[in-house]
Structure formats: C-alpha cells, structure tokens
C-alpha cells in the first residue's frame, strides 16, 4: 500500500474540470461555482481560495478481504484515462451511529448486508475511482469519493450510485453532495 497522499479539491471560477451540476442528496449543499481543480499530492497545506476547498488523504483499506483486493487489483483502471472526460466528486459524511459501530459490524453493514464491494466490482473497469479520507483532517465530510468515466458509461454510473443509495449502508450517510464534472 503506497504512503498516504494528501489532495485538495478547490472549486472556483476556473479549473481543469467544469462543474456541470451540484446536488445536495442529504443535508446541506455546497456553493456551485464554475470549475474545480484537483491539487496534489500536497506536501504543504493548500492555500485558501476559491469558493470552497475540501481536503482528503489516500489511505490503507479498512474493509476489503484478500479475495476482494485481488478482484479489485485485477479489474480496476487508473485515473487520468484520456477517454474519461466525465467525473463525479461525492463528499460523504456518516453518522455517529456508524462511527460507534465496531470494525466487524461496519464490515457486515458495508459488504455482507449492502454488497458495496460486490456491486462496485460490476462497474469496473469502466468507472475509475479513488477514495480519500477526510474525517481525520477535521473536514466537514468523512470521505471524498472521486470517479472518472467516459460519456458512454454515464448511465451505468447513475445505476451504480442509485443501487448504493438504496443499501443499508446509506442509512448511515447524514450528509452527501453529488458534484458532476466534465473536461
Ligand atoms: C469504500 C469499492 C463506488 C462510496 C469502498 C471500499 C471499496 C469500494 C473496496 C472499501 C475500502 C476499504 O476497504 O477501506 C467501490 C467500487 C466502486 C465504488 C469498486 C465502483 C466504482 C462507490 C460510489 C460511492 C462510493 C459510487 C458513492 C456514491 C464509498 C465510500 C466508502 C467506500 C463513502 C468509504 C466507506 C467507509 O469507509 O465507511 N468502496 N466503490 N463507492 N465507497 Fe465505494
């Protein structure tokens, strides 16, 4: 597992990704400026600026078992593919009830009950993903989830997101904003 890398997502008037939409799924939304820049890996904290900046750090996995790790490694593709001109940034916060669970109970909700990993695997390699952790940084969200895909996989990404939102795991989500981008 590579060392943790810190990234910042800065929204403002200009940036590599155009912001096509921002939708509050649960809880409070974010301001909707024109563009987003993904900055990192960072060695010093990001300069303030833009309409909002969210920070997250890559980390080791918490829940995947050996077989899932191998399936993910065999099928996933990296970020930055030229054909992947659509992206989604979905910041998520989970409730105190989630954080009060023990590790084995969280795994049971995420996978044995909600099949998050099994469902997600169905959408690889079309959807490339990266999970950033923010809770430890004192940020407003616990996670920043980032996805990249080609326009022809946009409908399939919608199905993935709606399947996950129907799952038991999402009952623990108390803030979620869905930001769609293109470049
Ligand atoms: C966590 C896979 C799509 C939100 C995870 C983990 C895996 C995974 C393996 C666990 C990481 C660990 O062990 O720590 C996938 C795959 C997807 C996908 C293969 C297919 C593209 C999504 C989508 C969302 C999402 C669309 C948001 C709408 C999250 C969140 C976590 C997570 C918030 C952290 C959960 C926690 O630690 O409590 N995902 N996922 N994932 N995923 Fe997904």
pLDDT digits (tens, 9 = 90+) for 83-123: 999 999 999 999 999 999 999 999 999 999 999 999 999 99
pLDDT digits (tens, 9 = 90+) for 112-157: 999 999 999 999 999 999 999 999 999 999 999 999 999 999 999 9
Confidence at residue 49, expressed as pLDDT on a 0 to 100 scale: 75
Is residue 1 predicted with pLDDT exceeding 80?
no
Helix ranges (H only) for 76-153 are: 96-100, 103-107, 116-121
pLDDT digits (tens, 9 = 90+) for 42-94: 988 777 778 999 999 999 999 999 999 999 999 999 999 999 999 999 999 99
CATH of the domain at 157: 3.30.70.3420
pTM of the model: 0.97
Nearest CA owner, ligand 1 atom 23: 161
- In this structure, the number of other CB atoms found within 10 A of the CB of residue 49 comes to 12
Kindly list the protein residues whose Cβ atom lies closer than 6 A to any atom of ligand 1.
61-64, 90, 92, 94, 116-117, 120-121, 123-124, 127, 129, 131, 143, 145, 160-161, 164
Domain count, the chain: 1
Report d(CA 43, CA 16) in Å as an integer: 21
The three-point CA angle 25-37-117 to 5° equals 50
Asked if residue 56 lies in contact with residue 64, where contact means CB atoms within 8 angstroms, the answer is no
Q: Identify which of 54, 69, 116, 177 to mutate to test ligand 1's pocket (most ligand atoms within 8 A of the CB).
A: 116
> What is the extent of the structural domain holding 142?
4-180
């Amino acid at each position: 597992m590579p060392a943790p890398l810190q990234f910042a997502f800065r929204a403002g008037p200009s940036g590599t990704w155009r912001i096509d939409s921002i939708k509050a799924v649960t809880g409070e939304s974010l301001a909707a400026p024109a563009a987003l820049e993904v900055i990192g890996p960072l060695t010093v904290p990001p300069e303030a600026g833009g309409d909002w900046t969210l920070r997250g750090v890559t980390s080791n996995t918490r829940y995947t078992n050996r077989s899932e790790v191998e399936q993910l490694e065999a099928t996933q593709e990296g970020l930055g593919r030229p054909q992947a001109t659509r992206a989604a940034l979905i910041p998520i916060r989970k409730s105190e009830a989630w954080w009060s669970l023990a590790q084995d109970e969280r795994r049971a909700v995420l996978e044995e009950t909600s099949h998050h990993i099994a469902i997600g695997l169905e959408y690889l390699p079309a959807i490339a993903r990266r999970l950033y952790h923010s809770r430890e940084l004192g940020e407003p969200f616990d996670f920043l989830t980032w996805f990249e895909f080609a326009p022809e996989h946009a409908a399939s990404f919608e199905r993935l997101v709606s399947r996950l939102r129907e799952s038991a795991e999402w009952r623990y989500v108390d803030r979620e904003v869905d930001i769609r981008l293109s470049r």
